[in-house]
Amino acid sequence: MSKHLSTSVRVPIEADNPSIVRNESLCIKCGQCRNVCTSPVGVLGTYALEQTGDRAICIHCGQCANVCPVGSITEVYEYPEVKAAVQDKDKIVIVSTSPSVRVALGEEFGMPKGAFVQGKMVALLRALGVDYVLDTNFAADLTIVEEASELLARIKGETDKPLPQFTSCCPAWVKFAETYYPELLPHVSTAKSPIGMQGPTIKTYFAQKMGIDPRKIVNVALTPCTAKKFEIRREEMNAAGQKLGIAELRDMDNVITTRELALWAKEAGIDFTSLEDSDFDKFMGEASGAGVIFGNTGGVMEAALRTAYAYLTGEQPPKEILKLEPVRGYDGLREASVEIAGRVINVAVVHGTENVRKLIAGGIEKYHFIEVMT
């Protein structure tokens, strides 16, 4: 007998899922989680629990929590751990913020949708006792440099890695590929995600420059993405520990979502709207505009093409590449062709992992670069 209700009723969630959790007492069995996991995520309906040893398949995207109308499914709350770390005088808490949080956080406090609250967001984190507030856009710049360089190496035949190159920024997409399309893994960029780069950079470079013992650092990523809770716990996410010879050292220690930060602030009784703006810490707190557009589907693709243009031509990208309209929007599949230094580069943007199946069915051979965001 299965420990889960039928998948025709709702999404099964394992007790050890690092990203999402269900409060059984609140579930009304409405099927909203089932529907979103079936489409546009494309996971539920692809397996039977009898085939998996009664274990749920999950790519940790958190879309079921987004659509749950009664709050039965939520992200796994980590902010109490971060709160405890802030109160520990022997810990140095560093929070790195993802680009989209600064245009989403205000809604939690009654501000208009899309309100740009970067200054108040930083001020809130300082008011909660965080020691340093950094911008993950710093590492997003690193990711773009790596992905664009790798793309050009593949196009020029300077590597044995095949074309097309897929982006690697979305951990839910990576888990989807590992689960359903392992043959595509050589196509996935070898670059880590921005959070995957930010973590070890802080515990090595930042710690050294600031004179901080990396063992005392509690690295926290603030992001809307529940899949990041899974990503930071992957076995390979201990590059800093490997470099420093500290086996137990993780690159990133906690991930808290936009909603978790709002809950923490409300519990602390902080009036968000009255906070005076504050700035990111200067060192590793500044970045170019490329990382900012990561917050939109198609943004990674657009930033990578801008960088590839600059590398190939030695010039700044023209307006049609700085504002690459064909890859913008929310259609499930979008494509464009861009000419750079006499080379035509064909790209595609996939929004929702179910659409990966449609893309593959249509053939991927014509593309050079494909972005996937769950």
User: How far, in Å, CA of 308 to CA of 179, rounded?
Assistant: 30
Those residues whose C-beta lies under 8 Å from the C-beta of residue 196, and which sit 6 or more positions away, are 139, 231, 237, 251, 252
Does 294 have pLDDT greater than 60?
A: no
**Would you state the pLDDT for residue 65?**
98
Which is higher by pLDDT, 291 or 103?
103
Of 72-76, 320-324, 345-349, which one has max mean pLDDT? Answer: 72-76
Q: Mutual orientation of helices 118-127 and 258-267 as an angle, nearest 10°?
A: 50
Is there a contact between 29 and 79 (Cβ–Cβ < 8 Å)? no
Instruction: Taking residues 131-137, report their average pLDDT.
Output: 96
DSSP state letter for 98: -
**DSSP 3-state of 181:** coil
**Would you state the pLDDT for residue 305?**
81
C-beta atoms surrounding 315 within 10 Å? 9
- pTM, two decimal places: 0.94
pLDDT range class, residue 300, cuts 50, 70, 90: confident
C-beta atoms surrounding 314 within 10 Å? 8
User: How far, in Å, CA of 227 to CA of 27, rounded?
Assistant: 22
User: How far, in Å, CA of 297 to CA of 371, rounded?
Assistant: 8
The residue with tokens 């050079």 is 368
C-beta atoms surrounding 112 within 10 Å? 7
pLDDT digits (tens, 9 = 90+) for 72-112: 999 999 999 999 999 999 999 999 999 899 999 999 999 99
pLDDT digits (tens, 9 = 90+) for 227-274: 999 999 999 999 999 999 999 999 999 999 999 999 999 999 999 999
Which is higher by pLDDT, 303 or 16?
16
**DSSP 3-state of 165:** strand
pLDDT digits (tens, 9 = 90+) for 31-66: 999 999 999 999 999 999 999 999 999 999 999 999
Instruction: Taking residues 283-290, report their average pLDDT.
Output: 76
**Percent of the chain having pLDDT more than 90?**
80
User: How far, in Å, CA of 107 to CA of 12, rounded?
Assistant: 30
The answer to whether the Cα torsion of 278, 121, 174, 328 is positive or negative is negative
Average pLDDT over the chain, rounded to whole? 93
pLDDT range class, residue 184, cuts 50, 70, 90: very high
User: HSE (CB half, 13 Å, CA atoms) of 250?
Assistant: 15
**Would you state the pLDDT for residue 201?**
97
pLDDT range class, residue 286, cuts 50, 70, 90: confident
Number of helices followed by number of strands (H, E) in the chain: 14, 10
User: How far, in Å, CA of 41 to CA of 7, rounded?
Assistant: 15
Instruction: Taking residues 343-348, report their average pLDDT.
Output: 90
Does 295 have pLDDT greater than 60?
A: no
